[in-house]
Structure 1
Amino acid sequence: MPTVAVLGLGVLLLAGCGSMPVVGDVKSVDASQAGDAQVQVYAVPPRAGAEPGEVVDGFLESMTSDDPSFRTTRTYLTEDAARTWRPAAGTTVLAKAPNRNAPGLGGPEPDATDTTYTLSGQKVAQVDAQSSYRPIAPADYAQTLHLVREKSADGKQEWRISSVPDGLVLGQSDFKRLYRSVNTYYFAAGAPRTADGPAALVADPVYVRNRTDPVTRMDATTQTIRTLLDGPTDWLRPVVDSSFPTGTTLQKGVTSLAPDDQNVLKVPLNTKASGAGRAACRMMAAQVLFTLRDLTSARVERVELESGQKVLCSLGAEEASEFAADSGTGAPVGQYFVDEGKVQRIPGSTKGGGDPVPVTGPLGEGNPRMSAVGVSRDEEKAAGVTEDRSRLYVASIVEESELPAVAPVVSTAASAEDRLSAPSWDGRGDLWVADRDPDRPRLLRLAGGEGAPREVSVPGLGGARIEALRMSGDGVRIALLVGDEGHRTLKIGRVERVGSGEAQEVSVQDLRQAAPQLTDVTAVSWSGRGRLVVVGKEEGGVQQVRYVQADGSTSSSEVLPGVNQVESIAAADDELLPLMADTMSDGIVKLSPGDNWQTVLKKGTSLVYPG
């Protein structure tokens, strides 16, 4: 069964067969090619007299096409199945294109009226109806397709699929060719507010079609805004809010959106949006601007939201910066590390290339000696873990002070490796640390970095232990390195807060495995609003440094070459700042955008950015 790709006026036959043999146990169906994102791929209906195996292959291949409403794809189904099949229900992603197992060496008997084929493969991810991607450790996948003979329009009996699961089944290469990851943005629930509304926007990654979506007929920009208006994914919904009034959608019939020659994007909304006040409308526009930052080829400098013939509000890119996650004082961000027990700072204006100086205050004096540090995002306070990892102290790094007589956090585990992890600050000013004591493992939070620590429940851990952690700048997600049976894996959890003040209860819910192909993870850091940088190894492989999206998805193109024996990694909220790493062989190194790794310091450990 051929599919045809059209580019401009050219026609390319990607794959085809006049009569596909069905003899054999397993048939791998992978007729697509990676190529130009603008190539339009169209399905071809089944030929007259097609054998069952040919019908199954054609159906699977046509799923990878740009067939409007999957009309041609449905011609491989019986009338009833074509009417009820819901391709938008979700997508199952397999490591490779699905194999189809024939029901016997020679297929069905010549006079058979029905037959069944099994689709199989290794499932690596699931994309739900909200376009939310969830990676999983490779698992066996099996699904059956039932075929029957059905009378066609010309009165002949033709094989068609009568029973088919909803959604699409794609190999990983086809999925990456057809879809792209984009971040939609919502406001952190309960975050500190400004006069115009919440100050922190949270990235909620989804996958949209690279080209026109077969179901909605929308281009990528319109798909993304439609998804934004639909609201956050179920996983993130408990901890974020949308400023769009309930029921807000694009005006009926809108399938294409693009900025004008002034880089202004006009977004026509239905009447549900017309009741929003000025402050709420500015927040709505900020959500759109942040969502479109990395999507459109032409930069969107301003968004105008419209309802009917009325402009509701207009917001420029510079104005939208007030809604970004808190980035501290606005001064250049410095890097911090520990050398000879003292916490030191590399001035932010040097972008990692300046001479370090001890921080002001007791943490810069080395008494007691420190082994790890975490710096608040406003760069006014830091938390240091002592050399034996038994105590955590919090002190100012902008003025002289003294350490408290009693450390606010103490671990009594027998060995240093079982005591306190490196600390991390979230964008709300709270300090987090893990006590790895085997007899009493705990995740602890100090509200505002002060007072007594409170234990945070993590119901999804089971018998595993938190070895390291990093908080996101928005304060609603936490990255955990979890140790279990000799391996450390990366998991991302949702931070839920109930109540306020001293009575507030905080928990980490719905842990999700990220980058499941990495069986041993050494270090992790948040990089910008929507992704992490991770150091780890695949089973039997060598160490690699790679980027992972906030939903846990990753790609081979995001592996960073050229650095080895990395023990810790540090990235900033500002992705223009260099990536920093602590290595066993080369000391502390940095990777600036568009450059190669360079050694910064031969001595020093535990380098971090604020956060």
Structure 2
Amino acid sequence: MPRSGPVHKVVEPTEQSQQSDMPYNPQAPRRGASAQEVVEGFLAAGVGAQDDYSVARQYLTPQLATTWKPDARVLIHSGDPTTVPRLDEGEFRTSTEVSAELGPNGVFTAQPEGSTRVLDFELTSVDGQWRISKAPDGVLIPEKDFPQIFSPVELYYYSAQDEKSLVPDPRWFAKRPTASTAAVRALMSGPAPYLGDAVASAIPQSASLSRSSVPVSGGTAAVDLSVSGYDPADVDQARRMEQQLRATLRSVPSVEDINLTVNDAPVEPTARSGSDPVRSMTVPNRQIGVSDNRLAFYQGGQTEQIPDITLPEGATVTKPGMGAEATSFGFVDSADSSLYTVAPGKQPQRRWSGSRLTRPSFDPQGWVWGSDHSGTVRTVEASSTGEGTTVSADWLRDKHVASLRISREGGRALLVTTAENSPRATIWIAGVVRDGSGKPVELEKGNAVAADVDVNTAQWIGSDEFVTTALDRDSNAQPRRYTVAGHFDDLPSLTGVTSIAGGNGPAAVYGASDGRLYMLTGSSWALQSEDVTDTSFAG
């Protein structure tokens, strides 16, 4: 047994730990390296997460090696870090440009172009070799290497409104055997701040892991919880905890099933009976669009104007939307810069006005949402009369909202904002907070999924995916398919796109251009109709 040297954490052996997925093996400190070379070597070793960053810890003094927390922060840098000596001997400062940052619980936050971070280091001599005695917690990862070193895991919480649907809370964890443990610990710590009161957890705050890890064997993760005050006869709570943990851990590579024990008692299979929570709500295949300045349905190549709809006199119909039941509709009248809701056999209701109004978004709780160039978020109950009310969202002050879409379970808002005199945009996801009656009252401060991107609209295509593009450009627009974790793939370009609509998954993406409607088919856009344009799916 060693009697000196740093203390290292030992992870319980699992099937996963037999071989590491980490593709990088950084170099250990070179004997006789200069102080600056030690700092640069330490930063480069941040790509080696295996064995709890054992190589990076070799650059630290024995004391710091035991207290340094590599998982506290991950800076994803887009340029080469620059390290320079400071006035005092053994002190160095590193500056680097970052494109994104991971917090201590793996929440990915995109950073605006030109964002920088400054890291300060102090070094001392240990047995004649320079070692770092003071360093900030966290690691640096090159942007190009990040997807190979980290992978996204979707934690799942229940929608706070009805607790019948599961809401994804994406996190990024290093590809190492402890990913299952990190996911469960993060789940028990609660949702990301931008979801806040929009979601709820079935796992009590008093819960803790009975042992130090969540081992995986044969594709099954063993989760042993200790919960004070737990009632084994409460089958419903056991079922909801198991469902939440199962949904979360199945997004961890190699995990296919879970075994849950609470206070050393296994959760019996009978506790899993009953209806499963909805993980991904779908929308009807029928779209709403504009045909001859009238609201019209479009589906399967057929266009049909919606009967018995009364429009305001002299209205110019743009940006239509509808509820999932296709009995209530909304649109922006560009003639008077107002948003209206309409229903068959009823008079149109003027809800609000503003500059550059967003397309109305209908949530499953019966509320219609919208915003404008001022950044004010408004909502109104579709079945009511009169003007809408303002939803609290102080963090949007000084931002121009170009697009706002409510998720299909109603717990999140997907927003695109721009700054004054800048064509570049930021894509946000923010939790929807409601009062006891279900009325929306606040948008939690959003988390940036992408920053400095050339888009002005985003449309959901599922619970954890959306598509974006830039509208009303003479040149080709570059649509993209994003995950809520921040990963994206480029889609085929479309010239002069004026609207984009997202249905159920990437096979149901439609774009309008030059008065024609196209559907995304593999690597191209196929013409669908010349009778309808500006379409949108329900929601």
For 1:340-351, what aligned pairs fall within 5 Å after superposition? Answer: 340-347=292-299
For 1:378-389, what aligned pairs fall within 5 Å after superposition? Answer: 378-386=325-333, 388-389=335-336
- Cα deviation, residue 85, structure 1: 1.5
Whichever of the two has the greater Rg, that structure is: 1
For 1:584-599, what aligned pairs fall within 5 Å after superposition? Answer: 584=514, 587-592=516-521, 594=522, 596-599=524-527
Equivalent residue, structure 2, for 1:184: 155
Matched, 1:244 2:239: no
The match for 2:227 among 272, 282, 291 is 272
SS of the residue corresponding to residue 41 of structure 2 reads helix
What CA distance in whole angstroms lies between the structure 1 residues aligned with 2:254 and 2:440? 44
The match for 2:351 among 409, 430, 445 is 409
Matched, 1:359 2:300: no
What CA distance in whole angstroms lies between the structure 2 residues aligned with 1:596 and 1:521? 20
What CA distance in whole angstroms lies between the structure 2 residues aligned with 1:501 and 1:172? 45
- Cα deviation, residue 135, structure 1: 0.9
Query: Residues 421 and 63 (structure 1 numbering): CA distance in 2 closer, same or farther, change over 3 Å?
Result: closer
The match for 1:532 among 439, 455, 466 is 466
Contact 2:301 2:529 in 1 (8 A): no
SS of the residue corresponding to residue 371 of structure 2 reads strand
- Cα deviation, residue 517, structure 1: 2.6
The match for 1:287 among 217, 231, 244 is 244
TM-score (ref. length: structure 2)? 0.84
What CA distance in whole angstroms lies between the structure 2 residues aligned with 1:507 and 1:367? 35
CA RMSD of aligned residues (A): 3.4
Structure 1 residues 125-179: Cα deviation after superposition (integer angstroms, max 9, x where no partner): 22111111111113133222222222x2xxxx11111221111122212322210
Equivalent residue, structure 1, for 2:64: 81
Structure 1 residues 372-398: Cα deviation after superposition (integer angstroms, max 9, x where no partner): 2111123332223335254444344xx
Contact 1:327 1:377 in 2 (8 A): no
Structure 1 residues 387-438: Cα deviation after superposition (integer angstroms, max 9, x where no partner): 5254444344xxxx3232x624153x6xxxx3643211123221112355x7
- Cα deviation, residue 546, structure 1: 1.4
Query: Residues 472 and 258 (structure 1 numbering): CA distance in 2 closer, same or farther, change over 3 Å?
Result: farther
Matched, 1:607 2:538: no
The match for 2:370 among 433, 436, 442 is 433
User: Which is further off, 457-466 or 424-433?
Assistant: 457-466
Contact 2:91 2:123 in 1 (8 A): yes
SS of the residue corresponding to residue 96 of structure 2 reads strand
Matched, 1:305 2:280: no
Equivalent residue, structure 1, for 2:15: none
Structure 1 residues 521-579: Cα deviation after superposition (integer angstroms, max 9, x where no partner): 23211221123211149xxx96311133435x344xx111343332222213x326411
Contact 1:470 1:526 in 2 (8 A): yes
- Cα deviation, residue 250, structure 1: 4.0
Contact 1:393 1:403 in 2 (8 A): no
Query: Residues 313 and 534 (structure 1 numbering): CA distance in 2 closer, same or farther, change over 3 Å?
Result: farther
Contact 2:318 2:333 in 1 (8 A): yes
What CA distance in whole angstroms lies between the structure 1 residues aligned with 2:276 and 2:297? 27
SS of the residue corresponding to residue 515 of structure 1 reads strand
Structure 1 residues 41-96: Cα deviation after superposition (integer angstroms, max 9, x where no partner): 44443233222233223212222114412233222112332233221211112113
Contact 1:55 1:159 in 2 (8 A): yes
What CA distance in whole angstroms lies between the structure 2 residues aligned with 1:58 and 1:381? 61
Query: Residues 492 and 450 (structure 1 numbering): CA distance in 2 closer, same or farther, change over 3 Å?
Result: farther
Paired residue type of 1:178:
I
Matched, 1:544 2:520: no
Query: Residues 285 and 606 (structure 1 numbering): CA distance in 2 closer, same or farther, change over 3 Å?
Result: farther
SS of the residue corresponding to residue 570 of structure 1 reads strand
Matched, 1:338 2:267: no
Query: Residues 595 and 466 (structure 1 numbering): CA distance in 2 closer, same or farther, change over 3 Å?
Result: closer
Query: Residues 146 and 575 (structure 1 numbering): CA distance in 2 closer, same or farther, change over 3 Å?
Result: same
What CA distance in whole angstroms lies between the structure 2 residues aligned with 1:378 and 1:200? 19
Query: Residues 495 and 170 (structure 1 numbering): CA distance in 2 closer, same or farther, change over 3 Å?
Result: closer
Contact 1:493 1:509 in 2 (8 A): no
Query: Residues 410 and 225 (structure 1 numbering): CA distance in 2 closer, same or farther, change over 3 Å?
Result: closer
The match for 1:454 among 362, 372, 389 is 389
SS of the residue corresponding to residue 302 of structure 2 reads coil
Unaligned stretches of 5+ residues in structure 2: 1-18
Query: Residues 536 and 250 (structure 1 numbering): CA distance in 2 closer, same or farther, change over 3 Å?
Result: farther
TM-score (ref. length: structure 1)? 0.75
- Cα deviation, residue 102, structure 1: 5.3
What CA distance in whole angstroms lies between the structure 1 residues aligned with 2:308 and 2:20? 55
Matched, 1:323 2:278: yes
For 1:178-257, what aligned pairs fall within 5 Å after superposition? Answer: 178-189=149-160, 191-192=161-162, 198-212=163-177, 218=178, 220-257=179-216
* Higher RCO (CA < 8 A, seq sep 6+): 2
Paired residue type of 2:56:
T
Aligned length: 513
Unaligned stretches of 5+ residues in structure 1: 1-35, 105-112, 193-197, 213-217, 348-352
Contact 1:344 1:357 in 2 (8 A): yes
Contact 2:491 2:523 in 1 (8 A): no
SS of the residue corresponding to residue 495 of structure 2 reads coil
- Cα deviation, residue 222, structure 1: 4.2
